[in-house]
Amino acid sequence: MPKSDFHEDDDDDDDDVVFLGSPAGGGVNSEDPSVPKPVEAQQRYRTLECRNFWRAGTYEVPSGPLHRARRAALESYDFDRARVHPKFLHSNATSHKWAFGAVAELLDNAVDEIHNGATFVKVDKINNLKDNSPVLLFQDDGGGMDPEGIRRCMSLGFSSKRLKTTIGQYGNGFKTSTMRLGADAIVFSRASRGSCVTLSIGLLSYTFLRRTLKDDIFVPMLDFQIINGQIIPLSSNSQDEWDSSLKTIIEWSPFSSKEELLLQFEDIGLHGTKVLIYNLWMNDDGLLELDFEDDEEDILLRDQAYSGGFSRSNKEIVHCHISYTLKYSLRAYASILYLRKFSSFQIILRGKPVEQVNLADEMKFMKTITYKPQVCKDAEDVSVRVTIGFAKEAPVLGIFGFNVYHKNRLIMPFWKVVQEGSSRGRCVIGVFEANFMEPAHDKQDFERTPLFIRLEAKLRQIVLDYWKHNCHLIGYQSYSTKTEKRKLKDSDKHSYEHSSKTQHKMPSVHVDGVTRLDVSAAEPSGQACAQYSIVEQSELGEDSEDIEIMDISDPTLIEKISEESIQLFMRRAELQLKTAQLKQTVEELEHELEEAKNRYSQLVADLETRRTQQVKK
């Protein structure tokens, strides 16, 4: 990106900048406050030119004498550390291909605070006080973070979560999730450690780092301590560094003063954390990736809804099913995000609690199977209880797949372990908790280890066995019936071959002096021939186990046939309409072609006339 798009920092401010995770607060005043900018220009300056997440990481890193001098000055600090370029914030966040995966990371942080007394996490949309743009809010009433804790949170690769019940373990979730949802995030946290009450503020701003040409990640921090009811600034270094951090946060955050910053702690309570994500990412059409307008009680993902492969009569049911809505509805996804229901904790989405759904309650003809994976030789024996059954909507909808959890958290929703086109396994869903495997960093998949591959093969076997013994419960032909029909087919085929041999030796009788064939003797072979013809018709499919056969004893058979007839008539009407439209389009194109030919002929005639006139001259 051209240098003119950025604003240069004053060299004198370099000492006031804090590095990501360092214990001192600090920041950079990136422009001379004595030179005012128009309000609109300031707002444009505080946002990136490219608001599309997948393209925001592509920009040129500046170079030149000034930047080399600044880099040398920064490297002269008297401590050793790894330098991290701001581009890493973006590339690190690309691990979240799905935006709701980033939201889930922030929900996990709040759920992990349950052991510190958290009772809720709020997810909502508020407005930026400076430009009225949407801001995504996450707020919980957990234990909060003291000055040291917030620096650990906003540094890279650090995690203090070592309990077996906690979900986060890489110490990377906050950075990847916030940067995946928006270009900037500001954190407010209040903590009580004994008699010491602290207020901490941290700003992680990709916009600030880009606009000020930073070649290292700096996070300005502010700390306060409440003493005798008074809020006192808390600085581990000089007051100048604290003031510099305040200026940076005020310039690059949605707030315009220290008083506005402190107001954010009023609704936090005695302890808790508030995360505000702003300059939210947009899609290719210039619209916010997160949709706050279509449903006042939900947050939706644009461009995620898809209903292909279903008939018109089934689409309405599909649109309401959790396997479909979780792709674009945060309320639906959050309802199944945790396996066990909370007893004293709520996810409050846009002012309304999320009702948790136990996927086992969405099954019929349930069965529990115990699976003992072979983890490793020295490991303790692991036993996994797999709950499997048919979806309640079976056999109307072909919804199937396993919902795999890890430490109570959903990792893979409706994971398909059997071939999607096959009828075997249709409508079979399952749920289990796989704590014996480690999830990927984005917590949307598992590492592709031999253990995972063995699990996939075992689940496929479980599905096929369950289908084999229970498919008749939802109207499919049972395997025992299929076996009997195969035997009958073999018997009928043998009878047909026998009748074919004897057909040429049919006895004749004399009636009224006329020789006729004995038709009564041929009746059995004719019956066998008819039966054989029917059996041959059933052999049209390559895999007889995948043929769907309707149960003629089903009392709703007439309704089903009527529904199918209606669908066919509607399909016919659609095709007729499309045919008429195509015919009209063809006529319009033919008319345009004819006009083009006429214009061409006219141009040729004009050209010929001009040539003739030039020759005469």
The domains of the chain are located at 3-284, 479-546, 555-617
Portion of the chain with pLDDT greater than 90, in percent: 47
- Indicate the burial class of 323 (C-beta count within 10 angstroms; 0-12, 13-18, 19 or more): buried
* Max mean pLDDT range (125-139, 160-174, 482-496): 125-139
Interatomic CA distance for residues 83 and 156, integer angstroms: 11
Q: 122: which strand partners?
A: 139, 348
Q: 235: which strand partners?
A: none
Does residue 582 carry a pLDDT above 60? yes
Q: Please tell me the predicted confidence (pLDDT) of residue 541.
A: 35
DSSP letter for 295, please. Answer: -
Tell which residue, 495, 468, 496, has the closest CA to residue 482.
468
Does residue 373 carry a pLDDT above 60? yes
Confidence of residue 56 (pLDDT cuts 50, 70, 90): low
Q: Please tell me the predicted confidence (pLDDT) of residue 295.
A: 94
Q: Give the residue ranges of DSSP H helices in 268-418.
A: 312-320, 322-325, 330-335
Residues in the chain: 617
Interatomic CA distance for residues 379 and 187, integer angstroms: 41
Are the beta carbons of 503 and 465 closer than 8 angstroms? no
pTM assigned to the model? 0.69
Poorest-pLDDT segment among 98-107, 120-129, 285-294, 392-401: 392-401
In degrees, to the nearest 5, what angle opens at C-alpha 129 toward C-alphas 124 and 133? 60
Does residue 532 carry a pLDDT above 90? no
Other CB atoms within 10 A of residue 139 CB: 22
Looking up tokens 């006729």 gives 516
Tell which residue, 270, 264, 231, 229, has the closest CA to residue 250.
264
Q: What token pair was written down for 284? A: 């290719």
> Which H or E run includes 600?
helix 557-616
Q: What token pair was written down for 81? A: 């550390």
Tell which residue, 577, 578, 574, 556, has the closest CA to residue 566.
574
Does residue 304 carry a pLDDT above 50? yes
**What is the average pLDDT across 381-385?**
91
Which CA distances in Å does 375 have to 363, 384, 403, 444, 455?
29, 12, 20, 21, 10
Does residue 220 carry a pLDDT above 90? yes
Give the sheet arrangement for strand 182-193, strand by strand.
230-233, 221-227, 196-205, 182-193, 272-280, 134-140, 120-127, 346-349, 352-353
Q: Please tell me the predicted confidence (pLDDT) of residue 375.
A: 83
